[in-house]
A and B are shown apart, each in its own frame.
Chain A
Amino acid sequence: MIISMQGSTPVGYIEQSSEKIILATGGGGFYIIDKNDILNKRPKLLPLPTNFHEVISNRNFYSNNGAHSIKDILIKDGEILVSYTNEKYSDCYNLSIISAKINYTVLKLYNAFQFEECSNEKGTNPHEGGGRMVNYKEKQILLSVGSYGINKFPQDKNSIFGKIIAIDIDSGKYNIVSMGHRNPQGLNYDEEHDVILSTDHGPKGGDEININMDRLGNSTIENYGWPISSYGSHYDGQHRTDAPLYKSHIKYGFKEPIIEFTPSIAISEIIKFPGEDSKNDFLIGSLGFTDLEGRQSLHYLQFDKLYKTLLFKDVWFIGDRIRDLLSIDKKVVLMLLEGDHNVLPSIGILEFD
């Protein structure tokens, strides 16, 4: 029997090293699974002890509220990075990163990166926190930071909220790569074409996939428009002067999404379709509490080589909220599925020949 499952609490995130899958639950439980066991469909889930609860000082982390949770995990250069909702100061929140050297006996986490800025604005909502991390150039990672529900942040170049940020993990130096994001829950770096793809979880409607091209030597900060432009609308249907949500992006000086979803699919992670070729094929996961078309599904999208046009689209209904995606072995995709009040969460294994 499911006792206390909270639909909004992320069940967790998955990442891989050469031989293991690491699973971190939203609340800070860490587990390891042998990759071969996954491929043989006989995974053994082993707890991985950590000092997580000694490192985390956020008082709300244990209230079973998904807003204050782990937001993603990433392996880079022998370290596991963990993004999470941090209580920087009393009732002032931001996104921070803790890290540990990879060890399958115990993870000794330490504070790796913190922004000075935090939000204590009325209405601060870490549910809209983003938190995705992907490997970027050299020692850098990309981190998506959501708006935290505060409309003034995403268009403010001096704020880290509502941005995608490149961080040099060694030095801690960072720069803003793009802005005007609401809740970017999916992030992918196409190294071959030097293109950043991000998903943005919109309000009522207006989920977006955004393309950031020509990064080489490009210091321009792309602006995707939130909360001035969005194809979605506010949940209460009311107009807000600080968040008018104009439908056109380009008319107001912002970059249009390559594809938007209205009604919402509750968009989450984006990964490259597994395979040897260099086609611009991607899989996008969706969440949602109902099985309306497009929700709880994998979306297969194929773009042209220049990321100008969507060539092909298919929707594969999975039947569970897809929190995370991981491509392993170039022919298998793992999905971390949240289940619901009657179904346990699961790891979905989808094999491609």
Chain B
Amino acid sequence: MKKLLLVIVFIFQFVVVPYAHEQNDAELLNNDTGEVVQSLIDRLDEQNKKIDNQKKVINKLSLKLDSTLYHFFGNIITHNSNEIITKNNKYTLTKIYLPFNDYFNARIYPSRIY
């Protein structure tokens, strides 16, 4: 009899209780999953909105960068000077080189940002 009780206690302690805990955890887990997934979707939406905003910012910055590069080229653009000697006078001719190293780009560039 004593042996039988020991077997029952053993089974209850090491099989039934852990199983019950396992079942309980699974139920809890099932209840949390919906919220977690919803939370993840919300966060994903938020991230997508942030990415869209970042794209807009990057686009604006890119356009500003284009302008700034030309601004920059305008400042560092190379030039040279030489004298024009005429019959009556001497004049200084300064050539400011334009950053049109490709006529085709010079032809199409500005319309791109309209």
Q: B89 → chain A, closest Cβ, in Å? A: 8
Q: Which residues of B contact A320 (CB under 8 A)?
A: 95
Q: Which residues of B contact A314 (CB under 8 A)?
A: 86-88
Q: Which residues of A contact B113 (CB under 8 A)?
A: 47, 49
A-B contact count (CB 8 A): 140
Interchain CB contact (< 8 A) of B111 among A9, A28, A343, A346: A28
How far, in whole Å, are A350 and B96 apart by their CA atoms in the complex? 11
Q: Which residue of B lies closest to A23 (CB)?
A: B98
Q: Which residues of B contact A11 (CB under 8 A)?
A: 98, 100, 103, 106
A346 touches B103 (CB 8 A): no
- We find that the number of chain A residues with CB closer than 8 angstroms to chain B is 54
Determine if A115 is an interface residue (Cβ-Cβ < 8 Å): no
Q: Which residues of B contact A38 (CB under 8 A)?
A: 96
Q: Is the interface of B mostly helix, strand, loop or mixed?
A: mixed
Q: A11 → chain B, closest Cβ, in Å? A: 7
Q: Which residues of A contact B18 (CB under 8 A)?
A: none
- We find that the number of chain B residues with CB closer than 8 angstroms to chain A is 35
Among A290-339, those with CB < 8 Å from B are 298, 300, 314, 316-318, 320, 337, 339
Determine if A64 is an interface residue (Cβ-Cβ < 8 Å): yes
Determine if A259 is an interface residue (Cβ-Cβ < 8 Å): no
Determine if B12 is an interface residue (Cβ-Cβ < 8 Å): no
Determine if B21 is an interface residue (Cβ-Cβ < 8 Å): no
Determine if A31 is an interface residue (Cβ-Cβ < 8 Å): yes
A25 touches B107 (CB 8 A): yes
Q: A45 → chain B, closest Cβ, in Å? A: 4
Query: Could you tell me which A residues sit within 8 Å of B by CB distance?
Result: 1-6, 9, 11-12, 25-31, 33, 37-38, 41-53, 62, 64, 106, 298, 300, 314, 316-318, 320, 337, 339, 343-352
In the A-B complex, the 4 residue pairs with the closest CB atoms: A27-B107, A44-B74, A346-B95, A49-B114
User: Contacts A2-B102, A37-B74 given; 16 further ones with Cβ under 8 A?
Assistant: A4-B104, A6-B103, A11-B106, A26-B103, A46-B70, A53-B111, A62-B108, A64-B103, A64-B104, A316-B84, A317-B84, A344-B101, A346-B97, A347-B96, A350-B91, A351-B91
